[in-house]
Chain A
Amino acid sequence: MPFTKQHRRLVATATAVVLGASALAACGSSDDSDTQDASGPANLTYWTWTPNMDKVVDLWNKGPGKKQQIKVTVKKQASGDTLVTKILTAHKAKKAPDLVQAEYQALPTLVSNDALADISGDAGDLKGKFADGIWQQATLGTDALYAIPQDSGPMMFYYRADLFKKYGLEVPGTWDEFAETARALKKKAPDKDLTTFSANDSGLFAGLAQQAGAKWWTASGDKWKVGIDDAATKKVADFWGGLVKEGAVDNQPMYTPAWNKALNTGKQIAWVSAVWAPGTLTTAAPDTKGKWAMAPLPQWDASSNATGSWGGSSTAVTTDSKHRAAAAKFAAWLNTDKAALTALAKESGIYPAATDAQLSGAFQEPPAYFSNQADFYPQAQKIAKTTAPAAWGPNVNVAYATFKDAFAAAAKNKSDFGDALTKMQDATVADMKKQGFEVAE
């Protein structure tokens, strides 16, 4: 008797589990019909983390959107990887919003999950409005167009002009000079550092590698090639690894209270960053306002002229959208229309990817923090044009996560950065193979 009772209970539980599982499985596999509905009024949802985006979207809803009966609703989201996961989860249930904000390096992941629609036929001809390096990230180098570039983060070199003068340092034009500057400062003021190598933002390292000409992911035929440990990236890793090892630069992470203090008190006197740095410095180092200056990123050899990009995102239309054409129209307006871009710059502090917007509107004056550098934005635009192309693949998230752990450990132990880079390459390739991607050796 006890046996049968227990047995019956077991069967009941098992049935419940199987029923539940099959019901959920059924949810996941609905058919893929083409969801295209061009005419008629459209209500679009837009997931974005940009602050004050609702104010910019209001301009559309009251202006061009009203005429075309396309209404956009903003839903504020968390940024970066978190949003990618959320979009993919929503997409699994076929409930992704019409429009999403996505960082450039996330686009291949989203495309590979079939979450982003090809809008090359709906957005019009926009290619000429963006720098080639940016445009290629939105097309993934194909004929398709998966997103419209919104903002970009061309990388630059920021330094304390007053302290450089005090210690008799020159603004480095090449990375060799950068290393010399770091050593010279250590000699003159042993308790100060030129900057720190931080492993907590993979975008910085990716941008530096991009500047050196790295191609982390390339596709040929049916196979991916992963070149995270290519010669260019190795050069960058060894350079920083050497500086950390000899103690010429600090090895503590950035964005910590300690880092803020180091910048604010002049313990660290330079920062390799991007065009959005004034915003970060305003909050991190408020006391040093007006003492900083911006220069182009040091080059690998004196004759070259390139920069990487750190940050930057785009507006994409999902495959779940029932109004693809309408959504593409809005995305194109948001990122190329003069009024929209001016509002984006003013309300959200965005540095536009569209080239002709980089000098108009909000960008005629230097940022308040850099009021001493009148040509801040003209120079930024010049630098932005030299952005090297980037090559993203379908598992940037894995490479980035491995970077954080491997390089944090290497920076802490002052050990070989080359080994950390190999770890990053191996983990990325192993993950792709595990997922079933064809990877060329």
Chain B
Amino acid sequence: MTSRKTRQSYGVKSAPYGFLLPAGILFALFFALPIGYAIWLSLHKVEVKGLGLGRGARSEVWAGLANYTDAVTDSELLHGALRILGYGAIVVPVMLGLALVFALMLDADRVRLAPFTRLAIFLPYAIPGVVAAMMWGFLYLPDVSPFYFLLDKLGLPQPDLLDGGPLYGAMANIAVWGGTGFNMIVIYTALRAIPAEVYEAARLDGCSQLQIALRVKIPMVAPSLVLTAFFSIIATLQVFNEPTTLKPLTNALSTTWSPLMRVYQDAFVKGDIYSAAATAVLIAVVTLVLSFGFLRAANSRTKQEEAR
């Protein structure tokens, strides 16, 4: 009797761990282990002796935080970070603003061809980033672009979109073109979930369509706005496809234009996986801090508003 009882209680006690085990193993294998390996790599470096030719001339040694201090003090990496901040300052507001406007317009009463319009706005999202960047890149190149041909025929000035300030706009345009549809769908879905009686009440109170949009709809979809902003910030910090694809077309984009391009350059061109690992870890930390910092700030604001 007693032995059975203890066995039973033991079984019950360990059951949750048994259920957790598969997830735990997967977490360790595919999440903790690679991250741990990246951190381990970032703390090492290769040391070469003499000319570095022949057997045993290279050894992997402990580097401490040297790779991190190199990355933090590297001005090119800092400039890369500033460049994507400038890029993000264009992309995030424009993309989310457009997404919100489109979603509100589609949700308004008496809108025609809504399903078609929705699909048309969403469609660019289905096009792979590299293909989109290539397509826009060709449209930006003065010698092969139909737009430039038209501008030339009309005698209008032809801006150089692949250089200086306009380059940021040109790149942001690709991201906005590709990302607006997705964000619009997220916001639109949230709009559809608002119960109809809310609108009815608003209309009975004499609200116009515009007022409903500004006073009712936007506050009610605030959580999905926060979510889309969260995704957009992460995507901006990780920008890689567009500049890498446009790079061969212009002298204005360096191989280390964005921080992730720098990681790629270190790992696969210079063959220095140790610095690449350190920079990657740094980018991950910054992304985490920025995106969760944003979430926190947004959440505390909504809570404050609820308390009022």
Min CB distance, A117 to chain B, in Å?
Answer: 11
Min CB distance, A255 to chain B, in Å?
Answer: 7
Known: A256-B141, A435-B46. A401 touches B270 (CB 8 A): yes
Min CB distance, A415 to chain B, in Å?
Answer: 12
Smallest Cβ-Cβ distance to A113: which chain B residue: B58
**B37 and A20 contacting across the interface, CB-CB below 8 Å:** yes
**A257 and B138 contacting across the interface, CB-CB below 8 Å:** yes
- A111: contacting residue among B28, B53, B248, B252, CB under 8 A: B53
- B52: contacting residue among A16, A20, A200, A435, CB under 8 A: A435
**A222 and B50 contacting across the interface, CB-CB below 8 Å:** yes
- B269: contacting residue among A81, A112, A140, CB under 8 A: A81
**A405 and B254 contacting across the interface, CB-CB below 8 Å:** yes
Q: Which residues on B sit within 8 Å (CB–CB) of A199?
A: 251
Stretch at the interface among A184-192, A208-216, A290-298, A406-414: A406-414
Alpha-carbon gap, A409 to B253, bound state (A): 9
B142 within 8 A of A: yes
**A253 and B58 contacting across the interface, CB-CB below 8 Å:** no
Known: A20-B37, A88-B271. A256 touches B52 (CB 8 A): no
Alpha-carbon gap, A306 to B141, bound state (A): 37
Alpha-carbon gap, A93 to B46, bound state (A): 16
Bin the interface of chain B by size.
35 or more
Min CB distance, A263 to chain B, in Å?
Answer: 11
A369 within 8 A of B: no
Of residues 52 to 88 in A, which have CB atoms within 8 Å of B's CB atoms? 81-82, 84-85, 88
- B47: contacting residue among A112, A253, A435, CB under 8 A: A435
**A13 and B46 contacting across the interface, CB-CB below 8 Å:** no
- Residue from B48, B54, B250 whose CB has the most chain A CB atoms within 10 Å: B48
Q: Which residues on A sit within 8 Å (CB–CB) of B251?
A: 199, 251-253, 408-409, 411-412
Alpha-carbon gap, A261 to B149, bound state (A): 14
**A437 and B36 contacting across the interface, CB-CB below 8 Å:** no
- Residue from A255, A258, A431 whose CB has the most chain B CB atoms within 10 Å: A258
**B271 and A20 contacting across the interface, CB-CB below 8 Å:** no
Alpha-carbon gap, A265 to B47, bound state (A): 52
Known: A112-B52, A222-B51. A257 touches B143 (CB 8 A): yes
Min CB distance, B39 to chain A, in Å?
Answer: 8
Q: Which residues on A sit within 8 Å (CB–CB) of B39?
A: 17
Q: Which residues on A sit within 8 Å (CB–CB) of B152?
A: none
Q: Which residues on A sit within 8 Å (CB–CB) of B45?
A: 434-435
- A436: contacting residue among B48, B53, B138, B254, CB under 8 A: B48
A49 within 8 A of B: no
B294 within 8 A of A: no
Known: A21-B36, A81-B268, A114-B57. A261 touches B143 (CB 8 A): yes
- B51: contacting residue among A88, A251, A437, CB under 8 A: A437
B245 within 8 A of A: no
Q: Which residues on B sit within 8 Å (CB–CB) of A222?
A: 50-51
